Chain A
């Protein structure tokens, strides 16, 4: 059962959903405000308990290093000498690196280690870049003969793969989006345009123009429309060196808007979650959309 739990966590990490429980996935850029001709940023990507500390698993990204296999995790051969079945390899996350003009760039010098992935980006265009990982998933939980079961897959397979006698069936449609913004020169707006799907940030204050002492205003959109009542948490870096998490908890108003007063400069991890029951005739009973971003707040 323990192994199952661990695999489950890996699965969650890979899917970047359900981040409300335990392990958080994040990207941490070396800088967000840059000058010069073609500066570089290097980015750490990990899944961990404590924000911005590498202590659990790397965030696995397509095109960044080799797929991570935990040393010693190879299952032992069976008595007949055949290798035991491999644990299912989950797909790695798809990272999209968007230039200020909307064109795509590739991560460079990628590596995946025991606790983190790293990659570099050469900012060969002036303006604001966006690094984004977006995911969708469908998860079900149910009871079969009193035993709790879990399932994830595609909507069209739901009716065939979950037994008809399943009890207490809950089907959650989830989406997650993780973003990092970096700006070379003056901030631009092109990459901030919402896609109109899932939970997104529509910044009123530019995400690379955040300063301690100036309130920042953000609007959250769900499927492109202002999302009221979204719970937003902000955690400042450096939690190892203080006794309290000092989490900032906010909720969007009827216009989907909120204002943040930064207690001090630094890197912040922001997580917004929208969760609601689905009341249509699809088998989906619940919808969960999350948005996370790493934001740098400069000293005035």
Chain B
């Protein structure tokens, strides 16, 4: 039922304009290593150094006996800020790992995660950890609410490639 109702609620809540949104591009680099595993990646929002909301967590959700959860703690900053208090899988947040390439995610400004923000600067955090590989954390500062088009981007040096965020009013 929830799945049916949700779009209706969104339509009702939005004005008849193109919906304001946050679009995120995350590049997972192709790595020339002997043993490659897709990275675990967490995307979440922080404000004033405090955790606000999770957007997505990519991990091995298909492993038998939830064994893929064993390495969630390797995204150590996210684990401390949020992960360790969650029950997995998390509806709408847990997702499978992704292959090297550029992945685009979109969130409506009316999405609960964004609605938890207060006016002012906030940060998008992207943390990646790879089995028998390294770990990397990137931050992009952004402004809430979305009064004008904003873009922020940064680039990782080993586990993540380009990460960009666009806020469209």
**A234-269 with Cβ < 8 A to chain B:** 243-245
Chain A residue, CB-CB nearest to B130: A245
* Given known A-B contacts A20-B34, A21-B35, A22-B35, A243 and B64 have beta carbons under 8 A apart: no
B35 and A244 form a contact (CB under 8 A) = no
B132 and A50 form a contact (CB under 8 A) = yes
Identify which of B34, B70, B131, B132 gathers the most chain A CB atoms within 10 Å of its CB.
B132
Q: Is B134 an interface residue (CB 8 A)?
A: yes
Which residues of A sit under 8 angstroms from B84, Cβ to Cβ?
Answer: none
Which residues of A sit under 8 angstroms from B103, Cβ to Cβ?
Answer: none
Q: Is B25 an interface residue (CB 8 A)?
A: no
- How many Å lie between the Cα of A273 and that of B114 in the bound state? 51
Chain A residue, CB-CB nearest to B71: A49
**B-contact bits for A56-77, CB 8 A (1 contact / 0 none):** 0000000000000000000000
B132 and A244 form a contact (CB under 8 A) = no
A20 and B35 form a contact (CB under 8 A) = yes
Q: Is A2 an interface residue (CB 8 A)?
A: yes
Provide the main secondary structure of the chain B interface.
Answer: loop
A22 and B135 form a contact (CB under 8 A) = no
- How many Å lie between the Cα of A162 and that of B136 in the bound state? 46
Q: Min CB distance, B36 to chain A, in Å?
A: 11
- How many Å lie between the Cα of A21 and that of B33 in the bound state? 11
A243 and B35 form a contact (CB under 8 A) = no
**A27-67 with Cβ < 8 A to chain B:** 49-50, 55
Which residues of B sit under 8 angstroms from A243, Cβ to Cβ?
Answer: 134-137, 158
- How many Å lie between the Cα of A54 and that of B142 in the bound state? 40
Which residues of A sit under 8 angstroms from B64, Cβ to Cβ?
Answer: 2
Which residues of A sit under 8 angstroms from B133, Cβ to Cβ?
Answer: 245
Q: Min CB distance, B159 to chain A, in Å?
A: 8
Chain B residue, CB-CB nearest to A273: B34
- How many Å lie between the Cα of A22 and that of B132 in the bound state? 8
Which residues of B sit under 8 angstroms from A50, Cβ to Cβ?
Answer: 132
**B63-101 with Cβ < 8 A to chain A:** 64, 70
Q: Min CB distance, A269 to chain B, in Å?
A: 12
Which residues of B sit under 8 angstroms from A2, Cβ to Cβ?
Answer: 64
**A-contact bits for B135-164, CB 8 A (1 contact / 0 none):** 111000000000000000000001000000
Q: Min CB distance, A32 to chain B, in Å?
A: 25
Q: Min CB distance, B125 to chain A, in Å?
A: 15
- How many Å lie between the Cα of A244 and that of B133 in the bound state? 7
**A-contact bits for B104-131, CB 8 A (1 contact / 0 none):** 0000000000000000000000000001
Q: Can you pick out 18 interface pairs between chain A and chain B where the beta carbons lie within 8 Å of each other?
A: A2-B64, A20-B34, A20-B35, A21-B35, A22-B35, A22-B132, A49-B131, A49-B132, A50-B132, A55-B70, A243-B135, A243-B136, A243-B137, A244-B134, A244-B158, A245-B132, A245-B133, A245-B134
- Other A-B pairs beyond A243-B135, A244-B134, 17, CB < 8 Å: A20-B34, A20-B35, A21-B35, A22-B35, A22-B132, A49-B131, A49-B132, A50-B132, A55-B70, A243-B134, A243-B136, A243-B137, A243-B158, A244-B158, A245-B132, A245-B133, A245-B134
Q: Which 5 A-B pairs have the closest CB atoms?
A: A244-B134, A243-B135, A2-B64, A243-B134, A49-B132
